[in-house]
Amino acid sequence: MMNKVALVTGASRGIGRAIALKLAAAGHDVMINYAGNKEMALAVKTACEGFGVKAEIFQANIGDNEQVAALVKETIDVFGTIDVLVNNAGITRDQLMLRMKREDFDDVIDVNLKGVFYLTQAVSKIMFKKRQGSIVNITSVSGVIGNVGQANYAASKAGVIGLTKTVAKELAPRGIRVNAVAPGFIQTDMTEVLGEEMLETIKETVPLKRLGTPEDIANMITFLVSDAASYITGQVMHVDGGLVI
């Protein structure tokens, strides 16, 4: 896995940060995309460089195709190529469907679904010429079973699943693998705001009786982009403690 270049979106915190660090530990140079917090992105860059690899940061809203193009160009300018793409960046605008504002629906679709399309289209052109590459999209159990108050989020993540399977079929003849990872309840700053009582209730719904960690997701990503997973494509890997059985 040495000398490969990975582009990870939404990598300044949470799951994205854990993915960037795990890939760096495995020997990947890493482009760290972030939306707003430069200080946190720089901290991830420094941590990645601690593994002896090259790392860089770039701010971009992946829901904007022009910013995506700039991100991909900068990655090529800095690293020369892209071997691995992890579409991790995502947002939520939760509300019951009857009360949901159209802009909240559109914003989530733009980032969570269109952003994955924009990046996959741009990066796959690079991988196409090399006849190799690995793309992993972060979806969610919400995209599989739905979730109250998340019509926009669940729709976007279900769309990512369909996109993953279709693109996997299209790119397989060129040696490019495309998979998705569906996290369940993961312990991040997004779940911490729920409060201890709610988190305990959530844990009771999970067969393994605990929340996942960002590292649980990062471990799966690192496997999927490695040569050990060279015969795996078009799959949705659930990392959810058995939540969706």
Inter-residue contact 233 to 179 (CB < 8 Å): yes
Beta bridge partners of 137: 87, 180
Which H/E stretch holds residue 104? helix 102-109
Helices within the chain (DSSP H only): 14-25, 38-49, 65-79, 102-109, 115-130, 142-145, 151-171, 189-192, 196-205, 214-224
Of 30, 34, 52, 2, residue with least CA distance to 218: 30
Those residues whose C-beta lies under 8 Å from the C-beta of residue 68, and which sit 6 or more positions away, are: 60, 62, 115, 118, 119, 122
Of 86, 72, 35, 81, residue with least CA distance to 54: 81
> Has 153 been annotated as catalytic?
yes
Rounded distance, CA 202 to CA 213, Å?
14
Distance of CA 231 to the CA centre of its chain: 21
Of 226, 119, 123, residue with least CA distance to 174: 123
Q: How many CB atoms lie within 10 A of CB 129?
A: 11
Which residues are part of the catalytic machinery? 153
